Amino acid sequence: MKKAILIRHGESEANVRGILSEELEYYNLTETGRSQAERMGNILRNYRIDGIFSSPILRTRETADIISGIIGRKVEIMDDIRESGLGGFNGKPFQSLPFGGREDLGMESWASLVKRMIGALEEREGNYIFVSHALPIRAAVSHYLGLNELDSYGIEIRFTSISAIDITNGKVLCLGSLKPSKKIENAFS
């Protein structure tokens, strides 16, 4: 069986400042972000998890390290779950991003984002945590729900929320949950 728990990083300095960023070493977690990661680690403490993968970006690494310290699993860096390529919008205010398809804006294409995320999720057997970013998580979940980029704009992935997917059966188990139900805990026990 293959199952994945996708977790968005905790609140970071970039989020507070409203900045889009794919920079590897900028923007630590805030104190709130560290608390969010700790809370999620405590929720996952009793789940059967084979390993943790993190985007190489600092805010995800910090989130994964906090969760790792609680559940006792090693963190591996995985480039395929990194933030979406932002093109000329990297480092710019979120409000500067106009509505439109990603390719039209000179950003990484939706197809590329979906392909690398699904490749990462389907790569290995077992139950894994993937600490990533809102848009890559939305792309992965949308794939399993049969939604394209424009049809998935309403999916909100909040800080340290869980989206769980049964990869083997191609089924989304939960989406953006901050407190997963007993059903999700049982799926990972």
Residue 67, pLDDT score = 99
Taking alpha carbons only, the member of 64, 68, 48 closest to residue 56 is: 64
Taking alpha carbons only, the member of 104, 125, 122 closest to residue 114 is: 122
Backbone dihedral angles phi then psi of residue 51, each to the nearest 5 degrees: 180, 170
Residue 180, pLDDT score = 92
Strand order in the sheet with 51-54: 75-77, 51-54, 126-132, 2-8, 162-166, 171-177
The rounded mean pLDDT for the chain is 89
Of the residues 3, 5, 8, 9, only one is catalytic, namely: 9
Of the residues 61, 102, 116, 133, only one is catalytic, namely: 133
Convert the pLDDT of each residue in 133-183 to its tens digit.
999 999 999 999 999 988 998 999 999 999 999 999 999 999 999 999 999
Residue 6, pLDDT score = 98
99: pLDDT confidence band, cut at 50, 70 and 90?
low
Q: Give the rounded distance of the alpha carbon of 27 from its chain centre.
A: 17
* pLDDT for residue 8 is more than 60: yes
101: pLDDT confidence band, cut at 50, 70 and 90?
low
Under a CB-based contact definition with an 8 Å cutoff, are residues 135 and 142 in contact? Answer: no
Residue 91, pLDDT score = 60
Residue 174, pLDDT score = 96
Q: Is 143 a catalytic residue?
A: no
- Return the minimum-mean-pLDDT range out of 9-23, 34-48, 110-124, 134-148: 9-23
DSSP strand pairing (75-77 vs 126-132): unpaired
Domains and CATH numbers, the chain: 2-88+109-187 (3.40.50.1240)
User: Could you tell me how many helices (H) and strands (E) the chain has, helices first?
Assistant: 6, 6
Residue 83, pLDDT score = 86
Taking the chain, what is the end-to-end CA distance rounded to the nearest angstrom?
Answer: 12
Report which DSSP code applies to 123.
Answer: S
- Considering the entire predicted model, what is its pTM? 0.90
